[in-house]
Amino acid sequence: MAAVQWIVVWAVVATLSAIVGAFVANYKRRDPSSWAAWCFVFPPFLIVIFLLSTNAGPRTRRPSFDQDDISAG
């Protein structure tokens, strides 16, 4: 039973870490989906995103699927 409890604890910590990482990355004008994924896999990455400075300029924006198709040719 102890193994199941550790898995549940890790799942909760990883999920909360991903959510916090996405919000902090968005606030610091970085790609929230990428940071959320990395924080989910490796929760101590939250320390890294907190230590990074805020990007200057506009927020990062991923191109939509239609824009990817147009640029591919």
- Whether 23 is in a domain gets the answer yes
Answer whether 19's CB lies under 8 Å from 36's CB: yes
- Whether 18 is in a domain gets the answer yes
- Whether 59 is in a domain gets the answer no
pLDDT 10s digits, 4-23: 999 999 999 999 999 999 99
- Whether 56 is in a domain gets the answer no
For residue 12, the enclosing domain spans 1-47
- Whether 21 is in a domain gets the answer yes
Give me the pLDDT at residue 20, please: 96
pLDDT at 73 over 70: no
- Whether 24 is in a domain gets the answer yes
- Whether 63 is in a domain gets the answer no
Report the distance separating Cα 57 and Cα 37, nearest Å.
24
- Whether 14 is in a domain gets the answer yes
Residues near 15 by beta carbon (within 8 Å), at least 6 away in sequence? 40
pLDDT 10s digits, 19-58: 999 999 999 999 899 999 999 999 999 999 999 888 887 7
User: What total of structural domains would you count in the chain?
Assistant: 1
